[in-house]
Amino acid sequence: MKLKPYVQISGQGPNLALLHGWGMHGGIWETILPQLENYFTIYNIDLPGFGRSTVHNGDYNLDYVVESIDEILPDSCYLMGWSLGGLVATQLANQSGKKINKLVTVASSPCFVATDEMPHGMSREVLNTFIEHLNEDFKGTLINFLSIQTMGSPTQKQDLQELKQTVFLHGTPSERALTGGLKILQSVNLLDTLSQLPMPVLRIYGKLDTLVPIKSVDKISESAVNSQSIIFNKSGHAPFLSESDEFIKQLVSFLLSESEQ
């Protein structure tokens, strides 16, 4: 029997599925959920091994996560993924495109680690260090990673407090999922995939983000010429926390444009 991820369904309107980032769970969206529920039927999903979702005993890789999420997605939906969730969402859009009407990635890169093609990504050594430290003190390592996510934001203290309050709300994440998630960030490159997606795509960034540096946006835009991008000037890695009202405004405008608004 397959273990299906936990999903909380609420709201009314067109379907919108939400995918959180590494180390977190669907509770990260709580501050904007009441507004989203005015426009959409929300499928708030915990990735395998995070929050209230269990995890299998096999390899924790992108294919496993995508297959797990695909099983619980409605037949027609919008899809939004933050950080690691953006990678998962991009691959889902590639493999299950008939289900997904529009894609939104938030503070996410199709290639998180610096390469010759993407020179402004994260250092591979930094991710290696996090993977090594997970075995020694995974709670401390997780908090350190959350701290990096809020760096640069003018609301850093508030954002970090919200992340800390949320992260262990449903227990501790699976170590298998934590390590596997970092390895996905370390190894996956979906730049070509992103450029070939058939549905409308919106990419949202924070100008002060240190995990997805703003210098990488131009390179992504060069490849993903059919997508749109928005930069939140006062945000780091979590613009939906630091500039939530404007975030909702831009998201709704993109998703419900044309005949649906």
Question: Is-contact 83 240, C-beta < 8 A?
Answer: no
Among 68, 83, 227, 242, the one annotated catalytic: 83
Residue 211 to residue 253: CA distance in whole angstroms: 26
**Is 237 tagged catalytic?**
yes
Among 25, 209, 235, 242, the one annotated catalytic: 209
Residues sharing a CB contact under 8 Å with residue 20, sequence separation 6 or more, in sequence order: 26, 28, 29, 45, 46, 47, 50, 51, 82, 83, 84, 85
Residue 26 to residue 31: CA distance in whole angstroms: 11
3-state DSSP assignment of residue 212: coil
**Is 83 tagged catalytic?**
yes
Q: Which residues sit opposite 102 in a β-bridge?
A: 78
Which amino acids are annotated catalytic? 83, 209, 237
